[in-house]
Chains A and B, each alone.
Chain A
Amino acid sequence: MEDLATLGFIATTLGATWRLATPLIFAAIGEVFSERAGVLNIGLEGVMLMGAFFGFAAAFTSGSIMLGLLAAIAAGLAMGLLFAVFTITVKADQIVVGAAINLIGLGLTAFLFRTYFVSTGKGVEIARPIAVPWLVDLPLVGEALFRQNALVYSTVLVALLAVFVLYKTSFGLTLRAVGEHPKAVDVAGRSVALYRYGAVLICCSLTAFGGAFLTLGHSNQFVEGITSGRGFIALAVVVFARWSPTGAFFVALLFGLFYSLQLQLQAQPGLLVPYQLFQALPYIMTILALMLVRNKGDTPAMLGVPFRKS
């Protein structure tokens, strides 16, 4: 029990935090785009599974992680298109369609995995860790934090890019307007539907990329339901982050910490608490987080409401 408090424990926990937060960061930032445009996509879990599976399948057959990531993005775009057609063009309820997307993602990946891959039993070679010069030599945390693979580092890039696109470009301004006052955008002569399609596709490709991290950058195998609720937790991250991309980055890191603590504490011998308590930690924390923020007024005004041109 004494080593619980040691610095080594803290350093490994922090390193694992960033790694375990990576899929959440991608999915949450993606969902920020979608929700800012007024589209509530609860199908993240299914999309993430598709990314995880197709990333794994493509990397497994081609031997290239790059192709795996591209396949994951393509799978994400396909699911995003399906979601967008039903929610934006057909104007069906977003929650119902999202639930269907989750079922399809879960079923399709498990079906294809059992049909083609389950007997192979082999994994893929995951992305290699890269040491960041200088930073890796920092005392204590250097090794743990700055010897990660490129996918982990790319979360910072994605967060910065998301801030830039959402707040510094005309595309981002219009996208946010679509979520607050779509009529104004329509009167200004821009297509609300087009921007919503764009937002959903950005959301789903980022989410699928986050899913691919699970199979190509974290564990080297696909397992049915490998995302284990991360898509849903990302939804809570977005609420907790008050729909801000930087907020999503840091809140996702907080949840990464819960995941990391869960793994680290489970591995501690001689704990008197049942290990299931740690398993449940991310889910309990999600509920507590939602209680903590309450729902203030900064929800995108038209979140979940289909736009009908009149």
Chain B
Amino acid sequence: MANIESGPPVAVAAEQFKQGGRLASRMVASVALPAAAVLVALICGAVLLAASGFNPWDVFTVMLAGVFQDMRSIAEVLLKATPLILIGVGLCVAFRCSIWNIGAEGQLYAGAVAATAVGVAFDGLTAWVYVPLVIVAGALAGAAWAAIAGLLKIYFRASEIVTTIMLNYIAIISTSYLVTGPLRDAAAAYPQSARLVKEAWMPRILPPTRLHVGILIALMLAVAVYVFLFRSSKGFAVRVVGISPHAARYAGMSVSRNIMLAICISGAMAGLAGAFEIAGVTRRLYQNISPGYGFEGIAVALLANNNPIGAIFSGVLFAVLRSGSELMQITAQVPQVLVSVIQGIVILSVVGFGVYRYRAVRPSE
């Protein structure tokens, strides 16, 4: 901005005005349009509710009143926001690199399995060592599971969309095998693993609620990933590869290395989400450890226009919707799956309003 200082006062003012205008339009683009997208989705949801014989106004008011009822219910929202923010932030990196990682669900399961395996294995470790160990195991497992799809893309040019989805199914089926077989707690009536050793439990930050330290870690990671993506040269390379692999190659950046970096970061974040669920919430591995956080994370990232800071807000928003939809199911017998419809419409509205300005990998003709 050196030219501003050297220019005449009028030009400076004009430049500042223009910048102010640009700032305002950026504010509109980053807040108002996503808000409009959510509104459109809620209206569509309301129409669907009304068409199915529910009173949408009642449903929504009951939902909001329930969600913000007391400390416990707000803590539950943040508890659900934790995996959504983690996965959404990770997917921001993958999507900015034009890697369509649809496999966060499977990577979450991989992280959960690894966290469980480590969390039941040792005795006599202090929590200061054990908790980080469990968390790192989860992140590494998630990254490794994602790396399979990355390697398949680089060495076999196999579409990561298909491979990550297939890896989802394989991870979920493997988890089902593990909790009915090798990891099963023999004493339990249901297929589930043994409970994690107490020293591996993540500390709770707001007793008596279940909120654990994971939400703070998720927030810090969101900021860290933002800095990585937009303020570091490594992150710049990831984004260049996403916009134009040719330009990246021409500039001497390794396309395959950046692809691996992006997909492993997103996998590690999903793996973390899985480890947090185990070490912070359930403390055991079950067959259906995730209610679809991995798929919801896609909507979280897209609504945030693939900006990690934005993903904090969209993650909390989707957590409110999810908590609310659970209440709807209990109090008004409205099937909870309505929330996926709303997510789908949110994505469509976002692209419809042009918030999500995706640049094709190959230029359009």
Residues of A within 8 A of B (CB): 42, 82, 86, 90-93, 95-97, 99-104, 106-108, 110-112, 114-116, 182-183, 224, 228-229, 232-233, 235-236, 239, 274, 276-277, 279-280, 283-284, 286-287, 290-291, 294-295, 302, 304-308, 310
Contacts and interface: CB of A to CB of B under 8 A. Distances in A.
A182 B162 CA distance: 26
A55 B165 CA distance: 26
B338 interface: yes
A25 B364 CA distance: 31
Given A92-B356, A96-B302, A114-B335, 15 more contacts: A86-B352, A92-B358, A97-B351, A100-B347, A102-B344, A103-B343, A107-B337, A280-B170, A280-B173, A286-B166, A290-B156, A290-B158, A290-B163, A305-B360, A306-B364
Contacts of A294: 156-158
- 7 smallest CB-CB distances across A and B, nearest first, come from A107-B340, A103-B344, A295-B157, A104-B344, A92-B351, A107-B341, A290-B158
B2 to A, nearest CB: 36
B233 interface: no
A93 B361 CA distance: 10
B159 interface: yes
Interface of B: 48, 52-53, 100, 102, 152, 156-159, 161-163, 165-167, 169-170, 173-174, 176-177, 181, 295, 298-299, 302, 335, 337-345, 347-348, 351-352, 356, 358, 360-365
B303 to A, nearest CB: 11
A229 B344 CA distance: 18
Contacts of B100: 95
A101 B337 CA distance: 15
B309 to A, nearest CB: 20
Contacts of B53: 115
A111 B365 contact: no
Contacts of B347: 96-97, 99-100, 103
B190 to A, nearest CB: 17
A302 B352 contact: no
Given A107-B344, A111-B341, A307 B364 contact: yes
Contacts of B337: 106-107, 110-111, 114, 224
A295 B156 CA distance: 7
A244 to B, nearest CB: 18
Nearest to A276: B177
Contacts of B162: 232, 235-236, 239, 286, 290
Contacts of B163: 287, 290
19 contacts: A86-B348, A97-B347, A97-B351, A103-B344, A104-B341, A107-B341, A110-B337, A114-B335, A115-B53, A229-B169, A284-B166, A286-B162, A287-B158, A290-B156, A290-B159, A291-B156, A294-B158, A304-B360, A305-B363
Contact of B345 (A93, A100, A277): A100
Given A106-B337, A276-B176, A308-B365, A86 B52 contact: no
Contacts of A310: 365
Nearest to A299: B157
B335 A306 contact: no
A310 B365 CA distance: 8
Given A276-B173, A290-B152, A290-B162, A97 B348 contact: yes
A305 B364 contact: yes
A274 B340 contact: no
Nearest to B157: A295
A93 B341 contact: no
Nearest to A183: B365
B279 to A, nearest CB: 25
Contacts of A107: 337-344
Given A104-B345, A107-B338, A235-B162, A283 B170 contact: yes
Contacts of A86: 348, 351-352
B149 to A, nearest CB: 9
Given A111-B48, A280-B173, A96 B356 contact: yes
A297 B102 CA distance: 25
Nearest to A105: B344
A106 B348 CA distance: 15
Contacts of A42: 161
Contact of B165 (A92, A103, A229, A305): A229
B352 to A, nearest CB: 6
A115 B51 CA distance: 11
Contacts of A112: 52
A100 B347 CA distance: 6
In this complex, the member of B53, B295, B335, B362 whose beta carbon has the largest number of chain A beta carbons within 10 angstroms is B335
